[in-house]
Amino acid sequence: MSGKNFKMLSNPFNLQNPVTVQILGICSALAVTVKLKPAIVMGLSVIVVTAFSNLVISWMRNSIPPRIRIIVQLVVVATMVILVDQVLRAFVYDVSKQLSVYVGLIITNCIIMGRLEAFAMGNKPWPSFIDGIGNGIGYAVILIVVATVRELFGSGTLLGFKIVPQAFFDAGYVNNGMMIMPTMALILVGVIIWIQRSYFKQLNEKE
Amino acid sequence: MKSLRNFLDKKKPLFLPGGKLSKFGSTFGAFETFLFTPNHTSKTGSHIHDTIDLKRTMTVVIIALLPTLLFGSWNIGYQNGLAFGVERSIIENFIFGFLKVLPIMIVSYGVGLGIEFIVAQIRGHEVNEGFLVTGILIPLILPVNIPLWMVALATAFAVIFGKEIFGGTGYNVMNVALIARAFLFFAYPSEMSGDLVWVYDLAGNTPVDGFSGATPLAYAAQNASSEIASFKDMFLGLIPGSIGETSTLAVLIGAAVLIFTGIGSWKIMLATVLGTLFMGGICNLFPANEYMSIPAYTHLVMGGFAFGAVFMATDPVTASSTEKGKWIYGFMIGILVVLIRVFNPAYPEGMMLAILLMNVWAPLIDYFVIEGHVKRRLKRAKIKANA
């Protein structure tokens, strides 16, 4: 992989992160991060959908009439989402149930439309595919970090396994009910943005 | 006094820019101004200053809070005595309760001031006095059985996410002490609500027959209005509840201090009372259940209403600052309190949520009051110009 392509893969991981820098896809980041397992599955689904929609739209980009491009993009994204949804239902039914409408709502995830409009419409298929994977990973990473904190402190487990020892609970430790609520996910995303901005000064707006 | 001054003067160069300990300059400054009246003079702009600075304001509020703290301490002992059939004198009750409040206060001050000092050093700001009042408010609005680590966590959360990220004292959008309480309320509901948390040591022990530990609000929420304590008991505060909030009388003494010194806004307090009576009155007119038919004035002495109206709603940072806005702000708090109490069975007490919600609205109210004012003045100017 050339250096340019690698940059497209790694940029969304940090300096162009779709969630913490572009503030896209917040809604699902709050909704599916109570437990780690749904968050991982959601992250994977979004990676697949962004990558393949980017690929398909990039192939079609020269034949899409500009006036109706949004509806064409939506059709492609919706097709991908339905495919992913069917796969999830077939192989991980319980997780698919937990994710409920949020898999369907990937269609409206701003990250995907944003990448289609900003990247796939003007670039060749292979770079578009890489860009899709990169942005999907950027989204998935934030989801996994938030979900890890929320599940650990909200339920005392990780991926369903007990992590906080029983001795803690005997000593008076109580799971934090606030972590179960979407409020805390928003605060956690805010904390990630805070930490990221204080490390990478170039992210701060110039006054 | 003189030797202390000399000591400070001798150590001062260490903390000035270029000194060995200049990193801790604001810590030194905080202690110096705490011990002596600061002798700063203004170098530019306005040279007229009010003699009452932030530190003196905070001191007056703390004095106003003392009656609730003293009564609250006594009430802890009294309620514990009632629950387990122990006879104690007034002094013994007070000491019993005070020893329970003290650790909560120490934790709240320790954690809060610790964070304030650290943040001030990082930012190179002066250490602000804002936490002096918050640190005593937090213990007063918590149940006595609260574990200390929860107090520490909630205080840290409230100071960092309620205040410091907005820029520190004077920039917070919502009341910091109430954020601490709201955090605990949603994070650890089993420690913050129910019948067992309000009386010391009630959980896990069997009280004497007939003692349940339920607050009047809990009875009211269960539509058991006959069980609610008498108006006199609730006014004096002989009921279970958060540490400082039970006695309306003690709160009124504090209110008198605040109004007399001009630090608390009587408009907000009065408007809150009026709003509650208004909404309570509407409930009385259409009593669909027992809770709606209890007299409107009962709301004024139940739960944390009095404490919230006097010490929380009047917080000058988070309340509306226009005069007309204060009336609207207080009135809306009153209406919301009754709405939350009566119509939402999940939250027996509505004062905390009502004030937090109106804190968020306060800038909007101010905006419309000022816009309205500007429009009226413009209209007047136009009529004059036409005439």
Question: Do residues B215 and B303 touch, judged by C-beta distance below 8 A?
Answer: yes
Residues of chain A with pLDDT > 70, as a percent, come to 99
With an 8 Å Cβ cutoff, are A183 and B191 in contact? no
Q: In this predicted model, what pLDDT tens digit does every residue of B27-55 receive, in sequence order?
A: 677 777 666 666 666 677 776 666 677 77
Q: In Å, how far are A83, A85, A147, B298 from A89, measured between CA atoms? A: 10, 6, 22, 56
Question: How deeply is A105 buried, as exposed, middle or buried, from its count of CB atoms within 10 A (0-12, 13-18, 19+)?
Answer: middle
Set of chain B residues whose Cβ sits within 8 Å of the Cβ of A179:
187
Give pLDDT, residue A14.
Answer: 77
Three-state SS for A14?
Answer: coil
Q: In this predicted model, what pLDDT tens digit does every residue of B355-372 receive, in sequence order?
A: 999 999 999 999 999 999
Predicted confidence band at B337 (pLDDT cuts at 50, 70, 90)?
A: very high
With an 8 Å Cβ cutoff, are A181 and B183 in contact? no
CA distance, residue A179 to nearest chain B CA (Å): 7
Q: In Å, how far are B138, B181, B267 from B73, measured between CA atoms? A: 14, 19, 30
Whether the per-residue pLDDT at B338 is higher than 80: the answer is: yes
Whether the per-residue pLDDT at B387 is higher than 70: the answer is: no
Q: In this predicted model, what pLDDT tens digit does every residue of B143-184 receive, in sequence order?
A: 988 889 999 999 999 999 988 888 888 888 999 999 999 999
Whether the per-residue pLDDT at B1 is higher than 80: the answer is: no
Distance CA B12, CA A192 (A): 39
The secondary structure of chain B, three-state, reads: CHHHHHHHHHHHHHHCCCCCCHHHHHHHHHHHHHHCCCCCCCCCCCCCCCCCCHHHHHHHHHHHHHHHHHHHHHHHHHHHHHHHCCCCCHHHHHHHHHHHHHHHHHHHHHHHHHHHHHHHHHHCCCCCCHHHHHHHHHHHCCCCCCCHHHHHHHHHHHHHHHHHHHCCCCCCCCCHHHHHHHHHHHHCHHHHCCCCCCCCCCCCCCCCCCCCCCCHHHHHHCCCHHHCCCHHHHHHCCCCCCCCCCCHHHHHHHHHHHHHHCCCCHHHHHHHHHHHHHHHHHHHHCCCCHHHHCCCCHHHHCCCHHHHHHHHCCCCCCCCCCHHHHHHHHHHHHHHHHHHHHHCCCCCCCHHHHHHHHHHHHHHHHHHHHHHHHHHHHHHHHHHHHC
Give pLDDT, residue B258.
Answer: 92
The count of CB pairs under 8 A between chains A and B is 20
Residues 6+ apart with CB under 8 A from B259: B266, B269
Distance CA B174, CA B162 (A): 7
Give pLDDT, residue B64.
Answer: 92
Predicted confidence band at B262 (pLDDT cuts at 50, 70, 90)?
A: confident
pLDDT: is B31 or B256 the higher one? B256
Token pair in block for residue B371: 């816009």
Whether the per-residue pLDDT at B207 is higher than 80: the answer is: no
Give pLDDT, residue B34.
Answer: 66
Supply φ then ψ for residue A162, to 5 degrees: -70, 125
pLDDT: is B72 or A167 the higher one? B72
- Name the β-bridge partners of A162: A157
- In chain B, whose CA is at the least distance from the CA of A188? B161
Distance CA A57, CA A128 (A): 9
Please tell me if residue B122 touches chain A, with a CB cutoff of 8 Å: no
The secondary structure of A52-117, three-state, reads: HHHHHHHHHCCCCCHHHHHHHHHHHHHHHHHHHHHHHHHHCHHHHHHHCHHHHHHHHCHHHHHHHH
Whether the per-residue pLDDT at A8 is higher than 80: the answer is: no
Taking residues B265-280, what's their average pLDDT?
Answer: 93
With an 8 Å Cβ cutoff, are A176 and B161 in contact? no
With an 8 Å Cβ cutoff, are A177 and B149 in contact? no
- Average pLDDT along chain A: 87
Taking residues B98-107, what's their average pLDDT?
Answer: 92
Distance CA A160, CA A157 (A): 5
Whether the per-residue pLDDT at B124 is higher than 80: the answer is: no
Question: Do residues B19 and B13 touch, judged by C-beta distance below 8 A?
Answer: yes
With an 8 Å Cβ cutoff, are A183 and B186 in contact? yes
Give pLDDT, residue B25.
Answer: 66
CA distance, residue A63 to nearest chain B CA (Å): 49
Q: Write out residues 159-188 of A within 8 Å (CB-CB) of B.
A: 172, 174, 176-179, 181, 183, 187
Give pLDDT, residue B127.
Answer: 75
Token pair in block for residue B129: 């006095």
Q: In this predicted model, what pLDDT tens digit does every residue of B341-359 receive, in sequence order?
A: 888 877 878 899 999 999 9
Taking residues A44-58, what's their average pLDDT?
Answer: 92
Task: Name the residue type at position A204.
Answer: N
Taking residues A61-68, what's their average pLDDT?
Answer: 89
- Name the β-bridge partners of A161: A158
Give pLDDT, residue B68.
Answer: 93
- In chain B, whose CA is at the least distance from the CA of A172? B147
Distance CA B129, CA B58 (A): 7
Residues 6+ apart with CB under 8 A from A178: A154, A184, B183, B186, B187
pLDDT: is B353 or B84 the higher one? B353
Predicted confidence band at B271 (pLDDT cuts at 50, 70, 90)?
A: very high
Set of chain B residues whose Cβ sits within 8 Å of the Cβ of A192:
none
The DSSP-derived string for A181-194 is SHHHHHHHHHHHHH
CA distance, residue A173 to nearest chain B CA (Å): 9
- Average pLDDT along chain B: 85
Give pLDDT, residue A207.
Answer: 66
Distance CA A86, CA A74 (A): 18
With an 8 Å Cβ cutoff, are A177 and B165 in contact? no
Give pLDDT, residue B350.
Answer: 85
Taking residues A172-191, what's their average pLDDT?
Answer: 87
